[in-house]
Every structure is written in structure tokens, then in C-alpha cells.
Amino acid sequence: IRDDQKDGVKEKKDHPFAFAFDIDGVLLLGQQAYPTARRALELLNRHNVHYIFLTNGGGKFEHERVSQLSEKLSLPFSPAQIVLSHTPFRTFAPPSPFPPLLPEIGKIPGTVLVLGGSADKARSVALHYGFDNVVTSKDFLVASPTLWPFATVNNDVRKLAKPLPTGTGPSGELQINAIFIYNDPRDWGLDIQLIVDLLLSHRGYVGTRSPLNGVSTAGRAFQNDGQPTLFFGCDDLLWANEYHLPRLGQGAFKKALEGVWREVTGGAELQSITIGKPFPETYKFAEGVLSHWRNKGEEGTMTGKREELKRVYMVGDNPASDIAGANGYKSEEGTEWVGCLVKSGVYKGGEPEHVPRVVVEDVLEAVRWALEREG
Ligand code: G3P
Ligand code: MG
């Protein structure tokens, strides 16, 4: 397939390959679209080549993020072709038809704490996913302002908070069954304090300390006592936006929490589960989304089976997430994930710590390289 075909007519040909596009640093730089991004996706649309968006960003509904992309790139996209950092979390919600992303975890009933993102969006997303009860750090702060005395409890915060559900604990304490980080936390201090409290609690009961650990565990070994599971939506230490240098991401928050946890527990390693790129479970989930999109299209409008998908070109700007993930994922479908590293975001040049199949300037060059390669 050549980029100079001025056919203008949409090919009906099926292709044994498709694309997965990272967003930040590839298609968008903060709020700005790269000038070549639209042309790259138009070229694929013209040749009927399928693609999805696979981002470690999130904190909003899938349809909201894909609408933002459509608006910035002036092209139509569907919520069925995007995977946000927390999209796989929905598989843990009791009513979800999808199998749990991690079978050993299963479905998570009861109340979950959702952290990160702005306004109250992450709560709305988690409720939409089907979790029974969702609480946020603002709910805890308004209920107990001295929980983190450095936060401001103003009317904006009060408007976004909701009363905590009635507890079922021995003295009416609320039990938290899991903690999810949906997006970059906005108040690291409050969120770290909340997480540490719950991980030191007795079985996730808010405001308790496990009798195994006592009130002050500093310097003492930590004992597990049925505390809630902690999930991170991604591990990005750095990401790229309009600022001229890479910014700290959710992975940096995780490192900060790990340091506090080590000190508070006398050396215990933080137990947590991290999804997002580069973790294989996320690529397996994304492969399912891509296959569904390729074979079913918008709301299952398409029928018939496409030819087998042999290759997915993963176009990303971060070797530690996009390229490491493509290189590390071994598809059960036998699909080869080909890492294409662009220089338009976090990576700017030099020997990347995870070796891509190709290094190119930007997303258009990545698409052209792949189409040439596919012939
Ligand atoms: O929060 C966004 C950042 O972690 C990276 O997003 O699209 O480059 O995977 P993306
Ligand atoms: Mg990126």
C-alpha cells in the first residue's frame, strides 16, 4: 500500500495487520494535536486498516476521551476502539460480562475506593463499570477533615463529596474491599495517607489499625490482616505534554507511596497490582478490544469474520511502556506486536532501554513505514 495512491475510494480489502496508537506524545501533546496525526489516521481509514487507541491516560469515560480525540483530529472514532488505563478494571465489577482481568482476583463486591483524576469523574466511571459502592478521598476528607489537616475543605470539595455509606464493621466502620488508582492523583499527600491507613487497617475497616500491627508500626515488621488490594492503572514514571520536559506520571506517585510504606512498616515492600502498558494483561485485553472492533465494528454492526490478524503495530513515545509492552507480550492468538517508537514525546533519541522494531520522527512516518512493509 503506498501513501501516494490518490484513489480516494475506500478499499474494501481486508488486511492481516492493524494498529494500536498510544495517545500522549503520539497523537496529542497535552491539549494540542500533532499536525501529522490526522493524516496518519486518514491514510489508514482510506485503506480500511483497523486501529485502536491504547493509552495509560484516563480519569474519564472512554466515550469522552474518544470524543476529545475526534474533536482534536476532526475524524470520527468510536468508544469501542479505545482502551484507557482503567478500562480493564471494569472486569472486576460484579455485573461485568467480561472475565476478571486477573482470574485469581475475581469479582470485587462491596465498597471500593477510587483515587486520581479531577472533579468526581473517576467515581462516575467506576459506578458505570458496575461497582456496588464507590467512595473517593474527598468523601473521607469531608467526613473527617483532620484526616489530612493540610487539605482545604472548601465548598468546591464539599460539592464533589458524598456521604460515606453506612459501615458494617464491629463498631459500624465502613469496609473498603479494594483501592483503585484511576488516574494521576491530584493531592498526593491525602491519597498516600488514605492508602497507608487502609493498608494498616484490620480487614479494610476505615479508621482501624490491625491489632497485628498496632497504632505505630514505624520500624516494626508489617503483618497482613486482610487489607484491601491496591490497583494502579499504570506505572508511567514520565509522560509528555506541552511542557518542554517530560512530566511525572502515576508511576512516580507509586514510587512515593512505596517509599513511605517502606518507612512506616519497617521495611515491608508495598503489595500492589499494576496494569496499563507495559503489562501483558493489558495487551491481552487490548488485543480482545481490537479483535472485537475489527470483526464487529460499531455496536456489532459488521458481520462475517475477517482474515486472521497477524500483526499489530504499536506506535508509542515511551520505550518503558509502549515498546516494552509490545516486545514483552506473547499473544495466545499468535499475533505479533511490532513496537514503533516515535521521537515526538518522551523519547527524543539515543539508545532506548527497550528496543523497538523501528524509530521514526512521528506517527505519520510510523504508519508509512508499516504500510510500505506490508506492501
Ligand atoms: O497520564 C497519561 C500518561 O501516563 C501517558 O499516557 O497516552 O502516553 O500512554 P499515554
Ligand atoms: Mg505516550
- SS3 for 170-226 is CCCCCEEEEEEECCCCCCHHHHHHHHHHHHCCCCCECCCCCCCCCCCCCCCCCCCCC
pLDDT of residue 222: 83
88 within ligand 1 shell (Cβ under 6 A): no
User: Is 299 in a helix, a strand, or coil?
Assistant: helix
Nearest to 114 by CA among 209, 230, 17: 230
Q: What is the pLDDT of residues 40-52, one digit of tens each?
A: 999 999 999 999 9
Cα–Cα distances in angstroms (integers) from residue 114 to residues 136, 157, 176, 179, 288, in the given order: 5, 16, 10, 6, 25
Q: Which three cell numbers stand for residue 48?
A: 480500511
Given ligand 1 and candidates 21, 22, 29, which is best to mutate, with the most ligand atoms within 8 Å of its CB? 22
**Cell numbers at residue 299, please?**
455496536
Indicate the pLDDT class of residue 32, thresholds 50, 70 and 90: very high
- Closest residue by Cα to residue 19 from 58, 49, 40: 49
Q: What is the pLDDT of residue 95?
A: 95
Residue whose Cα lies nearest atom 1 of ligand 1: it is 57
Residue 7's pLDDT band (boundaries 50, 70, 90)? Answer: very low
Residue 10 above 50 pLDDT? no
pLDDT of residue 4: 47
Average per-residue pLDDT in the chain? 93
For 258-302, write each residue's pLDDT tens digit. Answer: 999 999 998 999 999 999 999 999 999 999 999 999 998 776 566
**% of residues, the chain, pLDDT over 90:** 87
What's CA 1's distance to the chain center, in Å?
A: 33
Ligand 2 center from residue 277 Cα (angstroms): 10
pLDDT recorded at residue 57: 97
Instruction: For residue range 153-198, list pLDDT tens digits in order.
Output: 999 999 999 999 999 998 999 999 999 999 999 999 999 999 999 9
Q: Is the ipTM of this complex over 0.95?
A: yes
Q: Which ligand is nearest to the CA of 315?
A: 2
Position 268 scores a pLDDT of 92
**pLDDT for residue 24 is more than 90:** yes
Pocket test for ligand 1, best of 22, 82, 184, 239 (most atoms within 8 A of CB): 239
Residue type, 369: W
Q: Read off the DSSP letter of residue 319.
A: I
Query: Is ligand 1 within 6 A of the CB of residue 56?
Result: yes
At residue 303, does pLDDT exceed 80?
Answer: no
Q: Would you say residue 11 has pLDDT above 80? A: no
- Looking at residues 136-151, what average pLDDT do you find? 97
Q: For residue 224, how many C-alpha atoms fall within 13 Å in the half-sphere facing its CB?
A: 7
pLDDT value at residue 214: 79
**pLDDT tens column, 276-287:** 999 999 999 999
For the cut 50, the answer to whether the pLDDT of residue 313 exceeds it is: yes
